[in-house]
Structure 1
């Protein structure tokens, strides 16, 4: 079941939105859907018989039943797992799965996945984690573009593979953003060029490098229409603005180097998680 779409549910509105998003993703990708309720279980007397469903809140069972009615052909399991929610969900996603959790955006996380728990889940998981906020743009039926932030100086295969794959599965365009600031100058050259021409030439060179980075992926996913853009805006601000109307915004999380010893979300990823206008996918990579 490692290839399943796993979603954390607690019966709250944000987790309901996450479950609906996860169900559509499971249907689209042909994978089973696993609903996980994590935390403390209902207390029973030693040896007292009880059914697994008794460990689940009615609101969680209602979410399961609603998805089953809407997508009757979808393989669904729903279970309670005792333990710290961040650890439980990160483990449930495994390496080859996709983990989905509910989010309130800049106000934090409600219900079981409260603030730091959801952020710690995204920082610990070995698979991509999608955070979904109830009532935000880019919900389960959204048909907007997929947005991804990239550094062409250190291109990440895992990040691009996920973003291109999501765009292909959705039949959506992929918008690739890179934040680069061209120095103001002044520039000294032997050629008779004014300062504006030099800056434009340097900006064009940055865009060419980005296009070169994307070339192999365009060949691998010829059906995906790609829009590459180099912006002078800070990366976090650029991605938050681009997330308006997007079906998904994709950011990375480094797991090697200085960040290998402890779970960590970078500043850009942290900002996008709190302020994006739609679902955000966090992809772990070396």
Structure 2
């Protein structure tokens, strides 16, 4: 199987930002860069809306030429494939180490930072997907701070090895720190006990136990990547809000996506992933795991 970094391009500003991000990662990983433009149903409709088919391929060619000129040492291929963009790109992920997409395409609504193609592809991809924003999205720090920490969402009671491995490896390769964020929203609950213990003391003890559990979930990766400065944070906010806030100034936000265990379940992204993808201030990686 030929491994590469694959990026979907449609000529839009977000896809150009994704191509540049993917090219840097491909060069760092020593892998070829495969650029795919899907000329499927959505692209056909867009071409008709624009009054012709010449503009879109021209913009795609400009992106390919610019990436090849800026990184002449990189093995770059640019191809056109038929089909539905989400399904075609998800199929291409089977041969990729990493799949990179823009936040939204030319046909997207400006109020939605992640378009339907990005959401559908991220829900189906066989490899990690990174969604990259551009200044066209009107968001601060859209493509992340290159020196910022990696932020990874963690469920300490069932940590996903593939997600933690991806986050720690990315942080180690880029020489940045890592913030592991877990949401716990029980701080205002009332607890019943016969012991003469105040509610505040109970909450403090539970918070300490949650912090220790998160630290334990990170222990194996901390030992494997001792060079990565790591912070473990248990946050009283919802998971979506906690990760969006933590994304400010981050170089990358890493989320997990559980793969479907039943053929009728189908691929999908949960509400936390969708919230973060729509509102994060940095590129977001979605890592599939069992």
Q: How many residues align?
A: 272
TM score, norm. by length of structure 2: 0.86
Q: Note the residue ranges of structure 2 that are not aligned, 5 or more in a row.
A: 45-53
Q: Distance in 1 between matches of 2:272 and 2:11?
A: 30
SS of the residue corresponding to residue 261 of structure 1 reads coil
Seen in structure 2, the aligned counterparts of structure 1 residues 152 and 261 have a Cα distance that, compared at 3 Å, is same
Query: Residue 75 in 1 paired to residue 75 in 2?
Result: yes
Give 2:171's aligned residue: 167
Give 1:124's aligned residue: 124
SS of the residue corresponding to residue 168 of structure 2 reads helix
* Structure 1 vs Structure 2 CA RMSD: 2.7
Match of 1:206 among 199, 203, 210: 210
Seen in structure 2, the aligned counterparts of structure 1 residues 195 and 118 have a Cα distance that, compared at 3 Å, is same
User: Does the Cα contact within 8 Å between 1:142 and 1:247 map onto a contact in 2?
Assistant: yes
Seen in structure 2, the aligned counterparts of structure 1 residues 241 and 189 have a Cα distance that, compared at 3 Å, is same
Give 1:49's aligned residue: none
Q: Distance in 1 between matches of 2:154 and 2:100?
A: 22
SS of the residue corresponding to residue 246 of structure 1 reads coil
Seen in structure 2, the aligned counterparts of structure 1 residues 265 and 40 have a Cα distance that, compared at 3 Å, is closer
Alpha-carbon offset, residue 141 of structure 1: 6.5
Give 1:98's aligned residue: 98
Seen in structure 2, the aligned counterparts of structure 1 residues 92 and 103 have a Cα distance that, compared at 3 Å, is same
Q: Distance in 1 between matches of 2:182 and 2:263?
A: 22
Give 1:14's aligned residue: 14
Give 1:254's aligned residue: 258
Query: Residue 155 in 1 paired to residue 165 in 2?
Result: no
TM score, norm. by length of structure 1: 0.87
Query: Residue 188 in 1 paired to residue 193 in 2?
Result: yes
Alpha-carbon offset, residue 32 of structure 1: 1.1
Alpha-carbon offset, residue 2 of structure 1: 3.8
Alpha-carbon offset, residue 79 of structure 1: 0.7
User: Does the Cα contact within 8 Å between 1:175 and 1:226 map onto a contact in 2?
Assistant: yes
Give 1:176's aligned residue: 180
Q: Note the residue ranges of structure 1 that are not aligned, 5 or more in a row.
A: 44-53
Structure-to-structure mapping, 1:130-141, within 5 angstroms: 130-135=130-135, 136=139, 137=141, 139=143
